[in-house]
Chains A and B, each alone.
Chain A
Amino acid sequence: MSNIKKVFEKGKTLIPFITCGDPSIAITEELIYTMQKTGTDFIILGIPFSDPTAESDVVQSANLRALTNGITTDKIFDMVSKIRQNTNITIAFMTYANVVFSYGSEKFISKSAELGIDGLIITDLPFEEKIEFLPLCKEYDINLISLIAPTDSQRISMIAKQADGFIYCVSSSGVMGTNSHIITDISDIIALIKESQNIPCVIASGTATPQQAAEIAKQADGMIIDSAIVEICEKYGNDCVKYVQEYIQEMKQSISK
Chain B
Amino acid sequence: MSKGRFGVHGGQYITETLMNAIIELEEAYNHYKNDTQFQKELSELFQNYTGRPSRLYYAEHLTKKLGGAKIYLKREDLNHTGSHKINNVLGQTLLAKKMGKTRIIAETGAGQHGVATATAAALMGMECEVFMGKEDTERQALNVYKMRLLGAKVHPVTSGTATLKDAVSETMREWANRIDDTYYVLGSVMGPHPFPTIVRDFQSVISKEIKQQMLEKENRLPDVVLACVGGGSNAMGAFYHFIEDTSVKLIGCEAAGKGVHTAETAATIATGRLGIFHGMKSYFCQDNYGQIAPVYSISAGLDYPGIGPEHAWLYDTGRAEYVPITDEEAVEAFEYLSCVEGIIPALESAHAVAHAMKIAPNMDKNKIIVINLSGRGDKDCVSVAKYRGENINE
Q: Chain A: residues with CB nearer than 8 A to chain B?
A: 49-54, 57, 60, 64, 67, 72-74, 96-103, 123-129, 131-132, 147-152, 155, 159, 170, 172-176, 178-179, 182
Contact = CB atoms under 8 A, between A and B. Distances in A.
Contacts of B59: none
A50 B160 contact: yes
B15 A126 contact: yes
Given A98-B290, A149-B19, A51 B160 contact: yes
Contact of A67 (B2, B273, B291): B291
Given A49-B290, A101-B276, 5 more contacts: A51-B165, A98-B277, A99-B290, A102-B273, A174-B21
B175 interface: yes
B177 interface: yes
Given A53-B173, A126-B14, A128-B12, A179 B289 contact: no
Contacts of A101: 274-276, 290
Nearest to A172: B17
Classify chain B's interface size: 35 or more
A127 B13 CA distance: 10
Contacts, number: 125
B176 interface: yes
B159 interface: yes
B16 A149 contact: yes
Interface of B: 1-3, 11-21, 159-160, 165-166, 169, 172-173, 175-180, 273-279, 284, 286, 288-292
Contacts of A173: 177-178
A99 B14 CA distance: 14
B293 to A, nearest CB: 8
A173 B14 CA distance: 17
19 contacts: A51-B166, A52-B169, A53-B15, A54-B15, A54-B17, A54-B173, A72-B289, A102-B289, A123-B15, A124-B14, A124-B15, A127-B19, A131-B1, A132-B13, A149-B16, A150-B20, A151-B20, A155-B19, A178-B180
A129 B180 contact: no
Nearest to A130: B2
A170 B17 contact: yes
Most buried by A among B21, B180, B284, B291: B291
B60 to A, nearest CB: 46
B16 A98 contact: no
A249 B21 CA distance: 39
Given A51-B165, A51-B277, A172-B176, A129 B13 contact: yes
A54 B277 CA distance: 12
Contacts of B284: 98
A131 B16 CA distance: 15
A172 to B, nearest CB: 5
Contacts of B1: 131
A204 to B, nearest CB: 11
Contacts of B292: 50-51, 98
Contacts of B20: 149-152, 175, 179, 182
A102 B166 contact: no
B175 A102 contact: no
A67 B289 CA distance: 11
A174 B176 contact: yes
A72 B14 CA distance: 23
